Amino acid sequence: MTQRINYFQQSPELCKKYLEFSMLLKDSAIEESICDLVNIRASQINGCGFCLDMHVKEARIHGERELRLHHVAIWRESTLFSPRERAALAWTEVLTTLPEHGVPDDIYERVRGQFSEKELSDLTFEVMAINGWNRANVAFRTVPGSSDKAFGLDKANLA
């Protein structure tokens, strides 16, 4: 498949502001390793090859173990994730898929047991951000790996 349009070129100010929003999340209350898992899981659910490629590479650069990356898709069955990571992945899935009647109380309570109010708020913004990027990149068929050099992802040595 070929890329449809370059939305960064077509809407530079909007992209700049959304990128600024996303960059603010780097200073959130949520640890980098959980942000990596959240970005990978949402991208898997949304079928966003560009973002999945990007965030797997980022996670490797951040020191994530390869086997855990393979297990993100099966996190419920895997023994490789902590209760806090599991809660973040559950929150990511429910906010990405948004059930017809909203977020079930049991999922909310499980997540609240692992995250403070501030952390849960920041985690929610992390999920919001990746879902937005996923939607733009899926819509315009952004080619996976096409921005590796610009984002420093070539350092992952996963070409």
CA atoms within 13 A on the CB side of 75: 24
Q: What is the CATH number of the domain that holds 69?
A: 1.20.1290.10
In single-letter form, the type of residue at position 119 comes to E
Flag whether 70 is in a domain. yes
What integer pLDDT is reported at residue 156 of this predicted model?
81
Span 42-55, pLDDT tens digits = 999 999 999 999 99
Could you give the number of structural domains in the chain? 1
Span 135-158, pLDDT tens digits = 999 999 999 988 878 888 888 877
| Length of the chain counted residue by residue | 159
Flag whether 3 is in a domain. no
Q: Which domain holds residue 55?
A: 31-156
92: pLDDT strictly greater than 80? yes
Burial 22-53 (b: 16+ CB within 10 A, else e): beebeebebeebbbbbbbbbbbbbbebbbbbb
